[in-house]
A and B are shown apart, each in its own frame.
Chain A
Amino acid sequence: MSVAVSFARRATLLVGLVFLYAPIVILAVMSFNASRLVSVWGGFSTKWYAALLENEQLLQSAKISLAAALVSATIATLLGLLAAIALARFGGFRTRMLFFGALHAPLVLPEVVLGLALLTCFVALGVGRGFVTLIIGHVTLTMCFTTVAILAALRDCDPTLEEAAMDLGATPPEAFVRVALPQIAPAIVTAYLLAFTLSLDDLVIASFATGPGATTLPMRIYSQVRLGVSPQINAISTLLLALVAVALGLAAAVSYWRARRK
């Protein structure tokens, strides 16, 4: 490889990574800016973080979002696991195409359409909107992602291992739990985290599905962001980004450590 080509590649990688990360880094730096203005550096300050702690509304929304993410990710992972088992192991049962299609459609449908459909349904049934309907909306959206993630892992499992277990006297559920489940455990964890992140981040479905008592953090952020750039939003955004960065760093460290042990 010529020196020029390798230099061009390195430059491309650098430019690409800067494009991906510069806006996030700038946002984080701005959250420590004492000045309210974007373009003026007023000195280092953590006062916007201190202000966050005083903002009851924002804290309350953060709690609701966290609770919704925990609950909906748990339900979505369970339902996704069951759906993936059915799709991977039950062969061509009747209405499989409908089931398969319905589980994949929300992946590609605009969120606005799904949210609108859910809201019309709740109103038609006369259900009051709140935390429960928020959970229903998030599970419906995220169970499609968990199904796909777990299904992919289940397809990579060797079915002959389960057959061997059954030849040795295990019942099909036993064989599944003791042979396949340990193999797909990492995919289940990934699916849970994916559902958790999607729920925590969702604005559109939540706006349709939730009621006045259960305003989520993205909804709160969104209503403030519409008024323009705000240092407090910069601060909470930075906290959320830092949380993800730490989680990803841990995940990378764990997988590195496991790879080395092998």
Chain B
Amino acid sequence: MSGRRRRLSLGEKLVIAGPYLWISAFFLAPMLLVAKISVSQSVLARPPYRPIFQPSDSLADIWAKAQGFTLDSYRALIGDTLYVESYVSSLTIAAIATLITVIVAYPFALAMARAPERLRPILIGLAAAPFWTSFLIRVYAWIALLKDEGLINNALMALGVISAPLRIYATPVAVIVGIVYSYLPFMLLPLYAALERQDKSLREAAADLGASPAQVFLRVTWPLSREGVIAGSLLVFIPAVGEFVIPDLLGGSETLMIGRTLWNDFFSNHDWPAASAAAIALVALLMVPLLLWERARLKEERVR
């Protein structure tokens, strides 16, 4: 892809007009609106914020209104322990869940990559198939398993492992289980791709030179799969931070996650400037992993 900039022909403009207008009208403009609302004052009205600019505004109007911008919502965000705790606990839960997903997915992906060649397409299909089924239903399925009188507790009690039910449902642990389960395919596929393309002769060479299987893994297999681990981790971590369905269905009322706090603030409290500021702050928070993802993807694009 060259860096040259050129003008588009009329035909090309017609091709691009549809998607360009759509994404501008329904993604870029709404995002700018949210950014704008986040700096306006909260009022008791509908919409519940002070209108900002009108097309008829003169420059002086715009300047006068800009004086009314306020960082109150952001200040309130920092002062609000509910939001601060939500952010911290979202990041913590997402980080722990991502780590566990790597630990669960790695041996599975390795076994897939080393399976006989004719079995591999079937295994990939089986690993990817849950992606096509309803996310909501897969999360819901865990409620029956994790509840106090659920199947896991009943099985463990019947086997005599525990005498009283473990309290998992409605705790952060249940949220982590839900994230690991739901996002496992996102981790499996990049890991598998990284492990499958590794050259077998490298491992054989290391073994011939006297490396133990553990050494072969630590010094050949693992370092060569790092890219897959990073890609998979970002694919799990980024959506997990903003996750709403999993903490809402599996977490307890005290399990705070930012997606859920935002949702509640927006729908029950109607404080739109606060919710908008929280949304912008969430995007800012995700910028570091997002930029990492973007860099990895651009690198891939250049390779193509």
Q: Which residues of A are at the interface with B, using a C-beta cutoff of 8 A? A: 9-10, 12-13, 15-17, 19-21, 23-24, 26-27, 30, 37-39, 78-80, 82-83, 85-86, 90-94, 99, 102-106, 108-114, 116-121, 123-124, 136-137, 139-140, 143, 147, 155, 172-173, 197, 200-201, 203-204, 218, 221-222, 225-226, 228-229, 233, 237, 240-241, 244, 247-248, 252
Query: When the two chains form their complex, are residues A120 and B47 in contact, meaning their CB atoms are under 8 A apart?
Result: yes
Considering the chains assembled together, what is the distance between the CA atoms of A24 and B141 in angstroms? 6
Contact partners of B142 in chain A: CB under 8 A: 23
A112 touches B263 (CB 8 A): yes
Main secondary structure of the interface of B (DSSP, over half): helix
Q: A111 — which chain B residues lie within 8 A by C-beta?
A: 242, 244, 259
- Say yes or no: A225 contacts B283, CB within 8 Å: no
**Interchain CB contact under 8 A, B140 and A225:** yes
For chains A and B in complex, what number of residue pairs have CB atoms within 8 angstroms? 238
A91 touches B4 (CB 8 A): yes
B46 at the interface (CB under 8 A from A): yes
Residue B31 at the A interface, CB < 8 A?
Answer: yes
Stretch in B19-27, B56-64, B223-231 touching the partner: B19-27
Main secondary structure of the interface of A (DSSP, over half): helix
B209, CB-defined interface residue at 8 Å: no
Minimal beta-carbon separation of B23 from chain A (angstroms): 5
The minimal Cβ–Cβ distance linking B83 to chain A, given in whole angstroms, is: 14
User: What's the minimum C-beta distance from A104 to chain B, rounded to whole angstroms?
Assistant: 8
Chain A residues closer than 8 Å to B125, beta-carbon distance: 248, 252
Can you list 30 A-B contacts with CB-CB less than 8 angstroms, sorted by A residue number?
A: A10-B111, A12-B108, A13-B108, A13-B112, A15-B108, A16-B108, A20-B130, A24-B133, A27-B144, A38-B150, A39-B150, A39-B151, A83-B19, A85-B15, A93-B16, A99-B16, A102-B23, A108-B239, A109-B283, A110-B239, A113-B279, A117-B33, A120-B30, A143-B23, A226-B249, A229-B144, A237-B141, A244-B132, A248-B125, A248-B132
Give the CA-CA distance A222 to B23 in the complex, in Å. 29
- A110-B129 Cα distance, complex, nearest whole Å: 23
Q: Please give me the residue from chain A that is nearest to B49 by CB atom.
A: A120
Residues B245 and A204 in contact, CB atoms below 8 Å apart? yes
Other-chain contact of B104, A19, A38, A104 (Cβ < 8 Å): A19
Residues in B neighbouring A113, C-beta threshold 8 A: 34, 242, 262, 279, 282-283
8 A Cβ contacts from B220-250 to A: 238-239, 241-245, 248-249
